[in-house]
Amino acid sequence: MVHAHREGHELAEQVRQGPVGVRPAGPEDAEFLVDMLLQCVNWSGEERYTRKQVLKDKATSLYVAGWQREGDLGLIAVDLAGPSGLQIPIGAAWLRRFPARNPGFGFVAEDVPELAMAVAPHQRGRGIGAGLLRSLATKAREQGIERISLSVEHGNPAKDLYTSLGFTTYSEQEKATTLVLDLRTSPLGQPAR
Ligand SMILES: CC(C)(COP(=O)(O)OP(=O)(O)OC[C@H]1O[C@@H](n2cnc3c(N)ncnc32)[C@H](O)[C@@H]1OP(=O)(O)O)[C@@H](O)C(=O)NCCC(=O)NCCS
């Protein structure tokens, strides 16, 4: 292992095909989070938003604006198989709280942070998304977070990943479903007994 984060270790064990680590997201990761947010809004493969639009549109930019703010919690998956020990970011999962007057798409309550996540297209299907979520659940619990919410558009197969990890439907909208994970009862990211 290149680095000794406990989460990195966990991710490396669960991810298929080559070593992947995980590290906390910092202010220097803002650009990469924009890349990942772009993947979220363009999940269908159609370019609905350009990078410029995603940053300009208030509804989408609020997931990354001013990163990193107090209370923001994020993890970056890094490829550990790159040359010269380069740890290239290949995925991210992050949590941010929103005020009721300026909510995200998956808003549930002010004390329930919303999740955004994406994995670089050529790295999908290796277990990185699930590994990131598991590690993020551990971190969130350590910070006293009780629930996590998110909005997933109808037809996005990411919903299967979330439900397989214990997210349940909170509400349905015309174009999307709001899902919630209750960390008080979920085993996700709990140490194995
Ligand atoms: C959702 C996402 C982060 C999952 O990352 P990942 O590393 O591929 O996830 P994993 O390998 O851990 O898990 C794969 C599971 O995700 C689901 N899934 C997500 N997207 C999928 C896709 N395009 N095709 C098939 N399955 C998909 C399946 O349930 C799959 O399970 P399986 O491997 O048993 O079939 C990734 O697909 C992604 O970046 N998508 C675009 C951005 C996005 O939609 N983000 C979520 C917005 S709400």
pLDDT of 26-58, one tens digit each?
Answer: 999 999 999 999 999 999 999 999 999 999 999
Angle between helices 128-142 and 6-14 (to 10 degrees): 150
Q: What is the pLDDT of residue 149?
A: 98
Residues 134 and 189 sit within 8 Å (Cβ to Cβ):
yes
**193: pLDDT strictly greater than 80:** no
- Find all residues with CB under 8 Å of 134, minimum gap 6, and list them: 10, 11, 14, 165, 188, 189
Q: How far is the CA of 47 from the centre of ligand 1 (A)?
A: 18
Query: In the structure, which protein residues have their CB atom closer than 6 angstroms to any atom of ligand 1?
Result: 39-40, 43, 117-119, 124-130, 150, 152, 156-158, 160-161
Q: From the CA of 39, give the closest atom in ligand 1.
A: 42
Rounded CA-CA distance 35/49 in Å is 12
Read off the pLDDT band of 190 (50, 70, 90). very high
Task: Give which of 33, 138, 41, 153 is closest to 93, Cα–Cα.
Answer: 33
What residue ranges do the domains of the chain occupy? Answer: 6-182
What is the 101 CA–ligand 1 centroid distance (Å)? 31
Max intra-chain CA distance, the chain? 48
Q: What is the pLDDT of residue 4?
A: 33
- Burial of 148 from C-beta contacts in 10 A (0-12 / 13-18 / 19+): buried
Q: Identify residue 17 by its one-letter amino acid code.
A: Q
Q: Whose CA is nearest to atom 38 of ligand 1?
A: 118
pLDDT in tens, 72-125: 999 999 999 877 778 999 999 999 999 999 999 999 999 999 999 999 999 999
Ligand 1, pocket-test mutation among 161, 165, 169, 180, most atoms within 8 A of CB = 161
Per-residue model confidence (pLDDT) at position 82: 76
Give the mean model confidence (pLDDT) for residues 14-21: 81
Distance 124 CA to ligand 1 centre (A): 6
Fold that domain 6-182 belongs to in CATH: Aminopeptidase (3.40.630)
127, pLDDT greater than 90: yes
DSSP-derived secondary structure for 176-190: EEEEEEETTT--TTP
How far is Cα 39 from Cα 117, in angstroms, rounded to an integer? 9
Asked if residues 120 and 91 have their Cβ atoms less than 8 Å apart, the reply is: yes
